[in-house]
Amino acid sequence: GAGVSQSPSNKVTEKGKDVELRCDPISGHTALYWYRQSLGQGLEFLIYFQGNSAPDKSGLPSDRFSAERTGGSVSTLTIQRTQQEDSAVYLCASSRHVDRPYYEQYFGPGTRLTVT
């Protein structure tokens, strides 16, 4: 079946502009996660959704970052007034809800954001 998809794959924006990054999780996956990966670095957790609610927003770097999820499916990560330090690959992942407490995450290809 189809995996996690993200769009756009690449985004170049000017400092100060707003950007929206989109994630389409695997159909039926109830949990959705956003991560950020800077060049050659590990994964930095940003936010996750269980259904449409976000129990934990503690990873968002600043109030310029926000995310929403509608219909238990598509999620949008919005960065307002982008700064150069926001340049990174933004990865989305989803996991399914089954009757066990441990869920492997399936990652999308990422959106490479470059702020000039």
Q: Which is nearer to other proteins, 33 or 65 (CB)?
A: 33
Residue with tokens 């400092």: 15
Cα–Cα distance between 42 and 51 in angstroms, integer?
26
Binding site residues, other proteins, CB under 8 A: 30-31, 33, 35, 40-43, 45, 48-51, 55-56, 91, 93, 95, 97, 101-110
Whole-number minimum distance, CB 17 to other proteins, in Å? 25
Whole-number minimum distance, CB 64 to other proteins, in Å? 21
Cα–Cα distance between 47 and 25 in angstroms, integer?
15
Cα–Cα distance between 40 and 56 in angstroms, integer?
26
Instruction: Name the residue among 48, 23, 36 with its Cα closest to residue 82.
Output: 36
Q: Which is nearer to other proteins, 5 or 80 (CB)?
A: 5
Whole-number minimum distance, CB 81 to other proteins, in Å? 27
